[in-house]
Amino acid sequence: MKRTALYFTGPGRVEIREETLPDLPSGKVLVETRHSAISTGTELLIYRGLCPPDLPVDATIPGLQGSFAYPVKYGYATVGQVIAAGKAATGGWEGRMVFSYHPHESHFIADPAELIPLPAEMALEEALFLPNQETAINFVMDGRPLIGEQVVVFGQGIVGLLTTSLLSLYPLKQLLTVDKYPLRRKLSIMAGAHEAFDPSGEDFPVSIMKRLESPGVHAGADLAFEVSGSPDALQQAIAVTGFSGRIVIGSWYGLKDVHLNLGGSFHRSRIRLISSQVSSIDQEFLGRWTKSRRLAFAAVLLEKVKPLRFVTHRFPFHSAADAYACLDKNPDECVQALLNYGGP
């Protein structure tokens, strides 16, 4: 049996290659992909040649082995239908709709333990947002927002929008967002932000600090999230965060240079910089939280957040190169792109 698979083959290049699937092992199942979502963070770093080639992709996920050296398969949001099961695969998997942390390809063989069965009432495309919704939960847990706090989110790509959506459920005094693209600022208001700012505007530092003034206390945000993928945004986050505030850094910068000016007020500010990444859970929560619990709650929150409203483009799988070019060259228009593989 043949399948088609997406490979990153060099900076700015992706290819759809035909491959022969191996025979189905007795304990495994065969999944036919219906949809997959492009991660505009990590996948665009790979597409742009900004990932360390010797870095392991993700040793914790069976479908994401190897390194980021070209050619490389990548992707972690796939939904499809189990169309065949090996003789030793128990549990009635054949015919079920499932989610998998798997690269972009038309068919794949998986251990049933790697699959997440989807409830009949969940839209397949909505399930694609499970990983990014879980990431947003991880950011918010690491930030620990408190009642009445002033919070700023830098970056309103899909992860930033999901983070903003979750924060909007808290009783915050202010929820402000920052993004240079008008469409993303508009979507962030839809997600629940009180106001959205353009960081490239000359009046940005003054205008946002006016919103962050609090009588009798140090001006500035209590909590900021840097999820834009831009190193410059981290400096801006430091500038708008108040005394003893927290900054959750969810961006992965890859090979981008990060230059910070920490010689000013930062030295006396007691600002805490918090690294946050979804593959682990803060030690404080490990007595009660597991990855399974966090992922299950992400599925519950999808119904509240309604992430499909943030999808701007859909492409057939054979046109995946156009999808990456759109995300790379037109970030002002292309926020979230999905790949569709056909089928019923």
- Does residue 8 sit within a domain? yes
Domain boundary pick from 283, 302, 324: 283
Mean pLDDT of 50-77: 77
Q: What's 229's domain CATH number? A: 3.40.50.720
The pLDDT score that the predictor gives to residue 315 is 97
Residue length, the chain?
Answer: 344
Instruction: Assess whether 200 and 329 both reside in one domain.
Output: no
- Does residue 306 sit within a domain? no
Q: List the structure tokens of 164.
A: 């903003």
Q: Exposed (0-12), middle (13-18) or buried (19+): which is 103, by Cβ within 10 Å?
A: buried
The pLDDT score that the predictor gives to residue 202 is 85
Instruction: Assess whether 324 and 238 both reside in one domain.
Output: no
Instruction: Assess whether 105 and 157 both reside in one domain.
Output: no
Instruction: Assess whether 156 and 267 both reside in one domain.
Output: yes
Domain boundary pick from 266, 283, 300: 283
**What is the domain extent for residue 80?**
2-128+311-340
Residues 88-118 have pLDDT tens digits of: 888 889 999 999 999 999 999 999 999 999 9
Instruction: Assess whether 151 and 179 both reside in one domain.
Output: yes
- Does residue 113 sit within a domain? yes
Instruction: Assess whether 207 and 121 both reside in one domain.
Output: no
Q: List the structure tokens of 87.
A: 């003789």
- Does residue 223 sit within a domain? yes
The pLDDT score that the predictor gives to residue 241 is 93
Mean pLDDT of 228-252: 91
Q: List the structure tokens of 278.
A: 């979804």
Q: List the structure tokens of 48.
A: 């742009």
What percentage of the chain has pLDDT greater than the value 90?
A: 74
Question: Which letter does DSSP use for residue 247 in this model?
Answer: E
pTM for this prediction: 0.92
- Does residue 170 sit within a domain? yes
Residues 291-337 have pLDDT tens digits of: 999 999 999 999 899 999 999 999 999 999 999 999 999 999 999 99
Q: Sign of dihedral through CA atoms 192, 195, 199, 205? A: negative
Bridging pattern class, strands 107-110 and 97-100:
unpaired
Q: Tell me the one-letter amino acid at 234.
A: L
- Crossing angle of helices 182-191 and 158-167, in 10° steps, is 30
Cβ-defined contacts of 199-202 (< 8 Å, 24+): 199/154, 199/233, 199/236
Mean pLDDT of 149-153: 97
Q: What's 328's domain CATH number? A: 3.90.180.10
Instruction: Assess whether 46 and 89 both reside in one domain.
Output: yes
Instruction: Assess whether 178 and 216 both reside in one domain.
Output: yes
- Does residue 234 sit within a domain? yes
Instruction: Assess whether 140 and 124 both reside in one domain.
Output: no
The pLDDT score that the predictor gives to residue 309 is 97
Q: List the structure tokens of 145.
A: 């927002």
SS3 139: helix
- Mean of the per-residue pLDDT values for the chain? 91
Domain boundary pick from 264, 283, 302: 283
Question: Which letter does DSSP use for residue 119 in this model?
Answer: P
Instruction: Assess whether 23 and 96 both reside in one domain.
Output: yes
Number of domains the chain is built from: 2
Q: Is the pLDDT of residue 18 over 70?
A: yes
Q: Is the pLDDT of residue 208 over 70?
A: yes
Instruction: Assess whether 148 and 221 both reside in one domain.
Output: yes
Please, are residues 51 and 45 in contact by the beta-carbon 8 Å criterion? yes
Q: Is the pLDDT of residue 255 over 90?
A: no
Please, are residues 128 and 79 in contact by the beta-carbon 8 Å criterion? yes
- Does residue 217 sit within a domain? yes
The pLDDT score that the predictor gives to residue 294 is 92
Instruction: Assess whether 152 and 269 both reside in one domain.
Output: yes
Q: Tell me the one-letter amino acid at 129.
A: F
Mean pLDDT of 237-265: 87
